[in-house]
């Protein structure tokens, strides 16, 4: 049996009987964990172990664990700073900023791998332009070249800890004020402007060996009328063909408001897969 294209969540800190049945379904390929699934490192280890025993090959287990306000596991884990801290340090001391980013990537990854989490959806490769409320200090910096340098360090740290990397939110969520959790953001810039700014860190990291990418639930109206995560223009045309990305593509959460434009959940999942996503996160 191979892994299916759907990544699901769970209700609480233990795996329930009906959830086990759901995870055994042939369309399931992974589990994404949240704070509600966490009580302690020991409990988390047991939960992940129970997920891994459901089927073979075992299901992928992922989490959003960037640091700052997006860190699902707190007590028992190191409190990680938001990535903008490394950008601020870079402005004061370039080399030290990159060193700290690498250290943070390693620490985040090694703590998660110790309890059995396969990967975190990290790093954020968006630009901090002081426009996007949902991105903000989750981004390393406003300068795409600095973001690229810091992300390279962060990814080196993750790789040293044995964790694959997932860059998000392609081609960049930092230039729209709306939060795609609650709205459908529209970026009206020309493709050339996106390519010269927001897209730069993604291209740099792809050529540095980025394992996976998560596209944004943002409509880039000058390129396509669909959000990037549902757009074959972005995923097949630009990301795969033009840039040459050969890694995995994970959709952003299709329960977000930014995904509602694609229809109900079944229609959203089909639209994301048809556009070029390899796995749909629900």
The residues that are catalytic are 181, 252
Lookup: tokens for 124: 């954020």
Whether omega for the bond prior to residue 57 falls within 30 degrees of 0, making it cis, is: yes
Task: Output phi, psi for 8, to 5 deg.
Answer: -110, 165
Over the Cα atoms of the chain, what is R_g? 18
Going along the chain, which residue ranges are E strands? 6-8, 28-33, 60-63, 65-67, 70-71, 119-120, 166-170, 186-187, 212-215, 219-220, 248-249, 280-281
Spatial CB neighbours of 154, under 8 Å, sequence gap ≥ 6: 83, 86, 101, 102, 104, 105, 122, 123, 140
Whether omega for the bond prior to residue 171 falls within 30 degrees of 0, making it cis, is: yes
d(Cα 76, Cα 62) in Å, to the nearest integer? 18
Lookup: tokens for 164: 């694959």
Q: How far does the chain reach from its first CA to its final CA, in angstroms?
A: 21
Whether omega for the bond prior to residue 275 falls within 30 degrees of 0, making it cis, is: no
d(Cα 74, Cα 58) in Å, to the nearest integer? 26
Whether omega for the bond prior to residue 169 falls within 30 degrees of 0, making it cis, is: yes
How far lies 266's CA from each of 6, 125, 248, 271, in Å?
A: 11, 29, 21, 9
């Amino acid at each position: 049996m191979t892994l299916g294209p759907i990544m699901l969540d769970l209700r609480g800190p233990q795996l329930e009987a009906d959830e086990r049945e759901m995870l055994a379904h042939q369309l399931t390929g992974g589990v994404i964990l949240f704070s509600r699934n966490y009580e302690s490192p020991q409990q988390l280890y047991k939960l992940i172990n129970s997920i891994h025993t459901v089927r073979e090959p075992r299901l992928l287990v992922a989490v959003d664990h960037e640091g700052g306000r997006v860190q699902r596991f707190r007590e028992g884990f190191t409190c990680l700073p938001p990535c903008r801290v490394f950008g601020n340090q870079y402005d004061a001391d370039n080399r030290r900023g990159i060193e700290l980013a690498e250290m943070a990537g390693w620490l985040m990854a090694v703590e998660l791998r110790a309890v059995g989490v396969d990967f975190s959806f990290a790093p954020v490769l968006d630009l901090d332009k002081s426009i996007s409320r949902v991105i903000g200090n989750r981004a390393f910096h406003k300068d795409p070249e600095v973001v690229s340098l810091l992300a390279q360090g962060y990814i080196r740290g993750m790789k040293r800890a044995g964790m694959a990397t997932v860059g998000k939110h392609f081609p960049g969520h930092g230039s729209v004020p709306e939060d795609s959790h609650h709205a459908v953001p529209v970026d009206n810039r020309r493709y050339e402007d996106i390519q010269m700014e927001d897209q730069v860190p993604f291209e740099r990291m792809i050529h540095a060996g980025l394992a996976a990418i998560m596209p944004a639930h943002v409509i880039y109206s000058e390129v396509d009328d669909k959000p990037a995560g549902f757009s074959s223009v972005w995923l097949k045309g630009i990301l795969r063909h033009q840039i040459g990305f050969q890694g995995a593509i994970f959709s952003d959460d299709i329960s977000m408001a930014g995904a509602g434009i694609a229809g109900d959940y079944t229609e959203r999942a089909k639209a994301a897969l048809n556009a070029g996503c390899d796995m749909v996160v629900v």
